[in-house]
A and B are shown apart, each in its own frame.
Chain A
């Protein structure tokens, strides 16, 4: 749209209407300036035609014309919307009677010029109207420019608001994307509850699952889950609010992943369409930790059950022997046979008390080791003497077990905690007796590679390779606790004592081929100053 006047033609258009060519020539000559564009019409009809296609600032209209005269032409001009505001100056040769003048004004004239006209008056009158036209045009153009400017401003404001909405939407969607992608240990997804098409699966799926077709693997495991199917049924019944369940995904490497999924139903961006939204958290590590904790609790409970069994077992013979002796004493007969019986009962009671004491010591040792109160009282100790002492004390057990004892003792003298070393020998010997199947037990002491060496070998049930490490841990044993008594603490204590002295213990064994336990202890100096750090 051309808002301002064309720069190529800023002239004011003036329509000259007269039936006589000489008059038109005269008018044109007087008004001929670069400011005006003069258009000539030889009749009222021709003037009206010109007015159809062009706008004029002023019309100079001859009154007396054949056919349609000036008044008639003026009325027609005033009837037309396009031309009704164009000022008209009548040109007349007749006398200016008042009635004539009124007729002209009625027809829409604004001025008169009488022939023969004065060129100066004509020019100045025309100039007034041309100027008026220019000013009107300017006002019109300014108003139009103003309207245009206002519209532009309105459009700009609308655009600015739309932009702001878009910016906010973008920020919101970016925020949610960041939040979603920030959940590194979870998969955020959306799906159509009818078709089960997944519209979104967050990018961490492939990192968590570690497969090329991770998303497909994930959706397959999810859809196969019974709780998911139940949720779908409730959605279709309209009874669904939300659901939480766990499901398993078998990874490509054969390892299982566990997900805890929380489902919600919401309206999607498509009107009238619902959307299933889910967050599936990778709980594999939590589950593993839980299983670990459950196992630890189970091991502890098993230990408590065994410990109570083991501690109560010696109490039955002890109690029975004591009550028997009570009866004998009450009977008051102290002949040789009764005294022999009493002595035997006392011996057996003492044996049960020893058994209880050993169990109690074992428990206390473990609680000291675990409580960090395990300190070594070092003194010069002859290892072979310790072995001889212990074997002497276990004479009864040895003969009951049916195991033959074979000793090969060479001197090995070091700075150790005597009672703790004794404990090592006792624990290894009782194991050999327990699992030795009445076959010979060989114990040797000596020196090897600058370390003192204690080796106890049995020829019993043996230990599977995969259990070699486990048997040295707390509460563990290679065989069912129901089948072999004991607290399952012996080897754990042996290992802790050996390590506290800077030494170690190893096992060599195969099932049905017996077991060899070898304890190595440094003779001293290097570790003498070092308190056991447990």
Chain B
């Protein structure tokens, strides 16, 4: 039996989380949500090991930049690919120093979301 692909979604806006989860679940992808950077790292440290992390940059408290910095420090976490989602106009500048695998620019489209995410998932 094929393993279910898993994504950790780190995003603070409930509406975005709900809409993205719905789209991904329709593709039989398991989605776990963390509403800030710290919650995301805690999920990972607790043993949740996703195929991909979908990460928002602007979040209350510990934001996406903080999350990336924490991930850099941990060799295990560094192996999990990260896709940045940002509504920020200068997303390229802000992600220049980060080792990220792809960038999704908000507002995110359905086809764009799936096309960006799928190459990182098993069976693709």
Q: Are B16 and A316 in contact (CB under 8 A)?
A: yes
A:369-426 near B, CB below 8 Å: 400
A319 within 8 A of B: yes
Instruction: Name the A residues within 8 Å of B85 (CB-CB).
Output: 316
Given A348-B19, A482-B63, A484-B60, are A323 and B110 neighbors across the interface (CB < 8 Å)? yes
Q: B89 contacts A308, CB within 8 Å?
A: yes
Name which residue of chain B comes closest to A320, CB basis: B19
Q: Render A452-491 as a binary contact track against B, CB cut-off 8 A, 1 for contact.
A: 0000000000000000000000000000001111000000
With A312-B106, A312-B107 given, is the CB distance from A400 to B89 under 8 Å?
no
Taken together as a complex, chains A and B put the C-alpha atoms of A317 and B108 apart, in Å, by: 8
Return the chain A residue nearest B23 by Cβ: A320
Q: Please determine whether A309 and B58 come into contact, CB atoms closer than 8 angstroms.
A: yes
| Closest A residue, CB atoms, query B109 | A319
Contact A482 to B113, CB < 8 A, known contacts A305-B88, A317-B19, A320-B19: no
B110 touches A314 (CB 8 A): no
B88 in complex: contacting residue of A309, A316, A320, A400, CB < 8 Å: A309
For A323, give the chain B residue with the smallest CB separation: B110
Contact at B106–A482, with CB atoms within 8 Å? no
* A351 and B15 form a contact (CB under 8 A): yes
Please give, as numbers and ranges, the residues of chain A lying within 8 Å of B42 by CB-CB distance.
Answer: none
Contact of A348 among B18, B60, B110 (CB under 8 A): B18
Query: In the complex, which of the residues B14, B58, B89, B108 contacts A320, with contact meaning CB atoms closer than 8 Å?
Result: B108
A400, B18: Cα distance in complex, Å: 13
Contact with B along A309-331 (1 / 0, CB 8 A): 10011111111110110010000
Known contacts A305-B89, A312-B106; A324 and B23 CB within 8 A of each other: yes
Q: A352 at the A/B interface (Cβ < 8 Å)?
A: yes
Do residues A313 and B88 form an inter-chain contact, with CB atoms below 8 A?
no
CA of A324 to CA of B15, assembled, Å: 15
**For this complex, into which size category does the number of interface residues on chain B fall?**
20 to 34
Q: Is the CB of A319 within 8 A of B110?
A: yes
Shortest beta-carbon distance from B118 to chain A in Å = 16
Interface of A is mostly: helix
The listed residue (B63, B106, B110, B113) touching A313 by CB distance below 8 A is: B106
Decide: A315 and B107 in contact? CB cutoff 8 A: yes
Nearest Cβ on chain A to B29's Cβ, whole angstroms:
14
Q: Which residue of A is nearest B63, CB measured? A: A482
Chain B residues 48-62 with CB under 8 Å of chain A are 58-61
Q: With CB as the reference atom, state the residue of chain A lying closest to B18.
A: A317
Q: Is the CB of B59 within 8 A of A308?
A: no
Question: Is B58's CB under 8 angstroms from A324's CB?
Answer: no
* Contact between B87 and A308, CB atoms less than 8 A apart: yes
Query: Which residues of chain B come closer than 8 Å to A318, judged between CB atoms?
Result: 107
Among the interface residues B26, B59, B106, which one has the most CB atoms of the partner chain A within 10 A?
A: B106
| Chain B residues, Cβ within 8 Å of A305 | 88-89
Chain A residue nearest in CB terms to B89: A308
B74 within 8 Å of A (CB atoms):
no
**Which single residue of chain A is at the shortest CB-CB distance from B107?**
A315
> Which of the residues A319, A324, A482 comes within 8 Å of B108, measured between beta carbons?
A319
Shortest distance between the CB of A439 and any CB in chain B (Å): 17
A-side contacts of B88, CB under 8 Å: 305, 308-309
**Closest CB in chain B relative to A482 CB, distance in Å:** 6
**Chain A interface, number of residues (Cβ within 8 angstroms):** 25
Closest to B65 in A: A482
Enumerate chain B residues within 8 angstroms of A317, measured Cβ to Cβ.
13, 15-16, 18-19
- CB of A352 within 8 A of CB of B15, answer yes
State whether A313 and B13 are in contact (beta carbons under 8 Å apart), knowing that A482-B59, A483-B61 are contacts in the complex: yes
A318, B23: Cα distance in complex, Å? 12
The docked-state distance in angstroms from the alpha carbon of A323 to that of B61 is 32
| Alpha-carbon distance A47/B34, docked complex (angstroms) | 144
* Cβ proximity bits A265-289 to B, threshold 8 Å, 1 near / 0 not: 0000000000000000000000000
Query: Which of A317, A319, A323, A484 has most B Cβ within 10 Å?
Result: A317
Which chain B residues (1-42) contact chain A, with CB distance < 8 Å?
Answer: 13-16, 18-20, 22-23, 26
Tell whether A482 pairs with B89 under 8 Å between CB atoms, given A313-B13, A317-B18: no
**Interface flag for B75 (CB, 8 Å):** no
Nearest-neighbour CB distance to chain A for B37, whole angstroms, equals 11
A49 to chain B, nearest CB (A): 120
A312 and B111 contacting across the interface, CB-CB below 8 Å: no
Q: How far is the CB of A331 from chain B (nearest CB, A)?
A: 12
For residue B110, which residues in chain A have a CB less than 8 angstroms away from its CB?
319-320, 323-324, 327
Q: How far is the CA of A321 from the CA of B108 in the complex (A)?
A: 11
List of A residues within 8 angstroms of B113 by Cβ = 320
Q: How far is the CA of A484 from the CA of B113 in the complex (A)?
A: 26
What chain B residues lie within 8 Å of A312 (beta carbons)? 87, 106-107
Across the interface, which residues of A come within 8 angstroms of B59, CB to CB?
482-483
**Is B89 a contact partner of A316 (Cβ separation < 8 A)?**
no
A305-B89, A316-B108 provided; 16 other pairs, C-beta below 8 A?
A312-B87, A312-B107, A313-B16, A313-B106, A316-B19, A316-B20, A316-B107, A317-B13, A317-B15, A317-B19, A319-B108, A323-B111, A324-B26, A351-B15, A400-B14, A482-B63
Could you list 8 A-B pairs, sorted by A, with CB under 8 Å? A312-B106, A313-B13, A316-B16, A319-B108, A320-B22, A324-B23, A324-B110, A348-B18
